[in-house]
């Protein structure tokens, strides 16, 4: 493949062993996907941050990379960790210490410890057409679909390698011809709530691959697009188009692609699969991390039961003195999926996110009630 002088110097070890290892990883990835070159990126979003998901083995690998004294070569942000260090919540002490080591190690490499799955709310906002290397599945699909940026769904390792080198292999969704829709989804069911969008996305994500093109009568909010994308990404979907809404929806013909019609039956089946209990210990909002509108929705509802709202640290700070309901807990830097809720006495949660429901049941073995935020807060 085509390599410039800078890359050749890296492979010769002139930039250190850590940088050499990172470039070798990208070259292997390029060879697997028949990429002919590496292309510059404007930002990276790195997953593999929570101690719950990477464990001691992941921590030791990161320490080895950091000890090589290498720094990222593009603006880079972190995915959620497993702990909010400033929260009143009682996270396990041993977990907290390991988590602190992970954050410190990433920071030594020059990565901003933003710890959010919505980097576009926290300063990492790519422009349409920008090539980026993002690993968080919900952020990947939002960037490709809503922002018009270009990224494959990177692994934690490939995103870190891309951040260090400042480039990614040119294949997949970095190429315009690979961003065309492959499935026309006609939605006959009247979409009412964000949970309906989540159920719809979950059904498509679990049953289809490729790039869906949605025709839905309802005009979505930005938060609805985020929710839909996160649900789609529980499967193998990394981009979608939404008729008359998303920036590339008009770029490609849809008259000759496969078509499916979805109604109440499919949406109801998704609700059934995402529900395993009626009684919950807490309501958990913010998967992906809650934005301003979603936080305001919770505040306006004035809930009578405990609600944990997971968000970015900048929004937690913004709303810190604006909440006088003791039932609302603003939590930053983590979420209900990657924090050790099962070790904190939580056995069941209410969520309005299909992604949160799916992973809470399968990763944390929690019981889940899935419904719209309005319905959850009404109870």
Domain boundaries, the chain: 5-175, 180-272, 274-378
- Gap between the Cα atoms of 87 and 71, Å rounded: 30
| 113: phi then psi, degrees, rounded to nearest 5 | -80, 60
Answer CATH for 5-175 from 3.30.499, 3.40.720, 2.60.40, 3.30.70: 3.30.499
Q: Can you tell me the distance from the alpha carbon of 12 to that of 209, in angstroms, rounded to the nearest whole number?
A: 40
**pTM for the full model?**
0.96
Question: How far, in Å, CA of 104 to CA of 208, rounded?
Answer: 39
DSSP label of 339: S
Backbone angles phi, psi at 293, to 5 degrees: -60, -45
- In sequence order, what DSSP letters do the residues of 37-58 get, joined into one string? BEEE-S-EEE----HHHHHHHH
Tell me the per-residue pLDDT of 198-211, one tens digit each, with 9 for 90 and over: 999 999 999 999 99
CA 361 to chain centre: 18
Q: What digits encode the pLDDT tens for the residues 282-309?
A: 999 999 999 999 999 999 999 999 999 9
Range 211-236 average pLDDT:
97
Q: How confident is the model over 120-144, as a mean pLDDT?
A: 98
Rg (CA), the chain: 21
Pick the CATH number of 274-378 from 2.40.350, 1.10.760, 2.40.160, 3.40.50: 3.40.50
| 5-175 and 274-378: identical CATH topology | no
pLDDT in tens, 25-69: 999 999 999 999 999 999 999 999 999 999 999 999 999 888 888
Q: Which two tokens stand for residue 244?
A: 């008359």
DSSP, collapsed to helix, strand or coil, labels residue 280 as coil
Give percent of the chain with pLDDT exceeding 70.
100
Q: How far is CA 3 from CA 39, 123, 130, 188, in A?
A: 10, 31, 21, 50
Look at residues 110, 133, 124, 158 and name the one whose alpha carbon lies nearest to residue 41: 133
User: Which of 171, 141, 166 lies closest to 153, judged by CA?
Assistant: 141
pLDDT value of position 361: 96
Residue range 77-87: average pLDDT?
A: 96
pLDDT computed for residue 379 by the predictor: 66
213 pLDDT more than 80: yes
In terms of Cα–Cα distance, which of 349, 342, 330 is closest to 87?
330
Mean pLDDT over residues 244-265, rounded? 96
Model confidence pLDDT, tens digit, residues 306-338: 999 999 999 999 999 999 999 999 999 999 999
Cα 229–234–236 angle (5° rounding)?
90
């Amino acid at each position: 493949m085509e390599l410039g002088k800078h890359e050749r110097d890296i492979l010769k070890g002139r930039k250190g062993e850590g940088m050499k290892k990172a470039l070798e990883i990208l070259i292997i990835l390029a060879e697997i996907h028949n990429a002919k070159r590496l292309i510059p990126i404007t930002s990276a979003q790195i997953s593999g941050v929570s101690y719950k998901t990477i464990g001691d083995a992941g921590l030791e690998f990161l320490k080895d990379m950091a000890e090589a004294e290498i720094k990222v070569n593009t603006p880079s942000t972190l995915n959620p960790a497993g702990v909010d260090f400033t929260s009143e919540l009682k996270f396990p002490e041993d977990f907290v210490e390991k988590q602190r080591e992970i954050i410190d190690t990433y920071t030594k490499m020059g990565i901003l410890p933003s710890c959010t799955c919505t980097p576009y709310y926290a300063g990492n906002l790519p422009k349409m057409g920008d090539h980026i290397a993002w690993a968080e599945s919900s952020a990947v699909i939002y960037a490709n679909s809503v922002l018009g940026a270009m990224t494959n769904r990177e692994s934690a390792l490939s995103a870190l390698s891309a951040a260090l080198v400042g480039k990614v292999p040119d294949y997949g969704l970095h190429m315009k011809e690979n961003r065309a829709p492959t499935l026309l989804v006609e939605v006959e069911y009247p979409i009412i709530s964000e949970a309906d969008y989540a159920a719809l996305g979950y059904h498509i994500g679990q049953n289809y691959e490729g790039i869906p093109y949605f025709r839905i009568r309802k005009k979505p909010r930005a938060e609805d697009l985020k929710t839909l994308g996160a649900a789609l990404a529980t499967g193998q979907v990394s981009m979608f188009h939404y008729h008359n809404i998303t920036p590339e929806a008009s770029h490609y013909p849809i008259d000759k692609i496969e078509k499916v019609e979805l109604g109440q039956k499919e949406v109801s089946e998704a609700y059934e699969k995402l529900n395993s209990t009626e009684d919950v210990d807490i309501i958990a909002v913010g998967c992906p991390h809650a934005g301003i509108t979603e936080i305001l929705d919770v505040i306006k509802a004035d809930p009578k039961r405990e609600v944990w709202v997971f968000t970015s640290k900048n929004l937690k700070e913004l709303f810190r003195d604006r909440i006088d309901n003791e039932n609302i807990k603003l939590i930053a830097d983590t979420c209900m999926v990657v924090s050790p809720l099962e070790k904190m006495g939580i056995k069941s949660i209410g969520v309005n996110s299909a992604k949160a429901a799916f992973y809470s049941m399968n990763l944390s073995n929690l019981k889940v009630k899935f419904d719209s935020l309005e319905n959850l807060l009404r109870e």
